[in-house]
Amino acid sequence: MVDMDAVAFEVLVTDELDRLPDDMVDGLDNVIFVVEDRPEDGSLDLLGLYDGWALTERDRYGAGELPDRIIVYREPHLATCDTEEELRDEVHTTLVHEIAHFYGIDDERLHNLGWA
């Protein structure tokens, strides 16, 4: 288990977000990234969550919508990783996974691509 406070973890998430390819993040529209300690149910099973309308479903999306959220959970990441390098890799994978949901890629396809 890695020990890292909330501020340091947010910096790590921002660093990993900055390392993603431009073509992956440039298309994000009305999306914010949020770091939270744990999911609402308090579990350590969920590393991230896309909360919003996928690009493929935006025909139902109206003007003035609140931003979609990509949530990265700190404590589940820390509980699953033994080193900071492993933590960086896992955060990177989580970001790619949740961004893919924005683009309408489901878990089955992500699993087939090796991102789930």
* pTM of the predicted protein model: 0.90
Asked whether the beta carbons of 7 and 79 are under 8 A apart, the reply is: no
pLDDT per position in the chain (116 positions), as tens? 899 999 999 999 999 999 999 989 998 988 999 999 999 999 999 999 999 988 888 776 666 678 899 999 999 999 999 999 999 999 999 999 999 999 999 888 888 877 66
Q: Which residues of 11-36 are buried (b: 16+ CB within 10 A; e: fewer)?
A: ebbeebbeeeeeeeeeebeebebebe
Residue type, 70: I
